[in-house]
Amino acid sequence: MTSHTDPAPFPYNGPEELRQPILTALRRVVDPEVAMNVVDVGLIYGITVAAGKLHALVTMTSAACPVTELIIEEIETELDRDMPPDLQIQVELVWEPPWTTERMSPSAKRFMGW
């Protein structure tokens, strides 16, 4: 169990023993435009681990985000660092449903003054 107040910040389907390492890895990825991790910003739409693959659905706060490629690379790097070496990492950028501030964690909203 984590000390984070939101136990399910995104849908997860996979082995329970990988849930926390995945969450920890993703929390190390910071969106430089808002200086918060991608989990708290609400950019992770879901993680599925099956058949030797980790599939991450992610979005950006805007289609005009200038750091999209950097964030996706960092997500891949951080997940790869903590996952079993034979697990293939696939990060898919999606735009539906569109990101909204409602996806942000309570702590992220407080940080932004909302």
* Domain CATH for 50: 3.30.300.130
**Separation between Cα atoms, residue 27 and residue 38, nearest integer Å:** 6
Could you tell me if residue 96 is inside a domain? yes
Could you tell me if residue 111 is inside a domain? no
| Domains in the chain, number | 1
Q: What is the pLDDT of residue 53?
A: 98
DSSP assignment of 18-39: HHHHHHHHHHT-EETTTTEEHH
With a cut of 90, say whether residue 114 has pLDDT above it: no
pLDDT in tens, 20-35: 999 999 999 999 989 9
Q: Quote the pTM value.
A: 0.90
pLDDT band at 4 (very low <50, low <70, confident <90, very high): very low
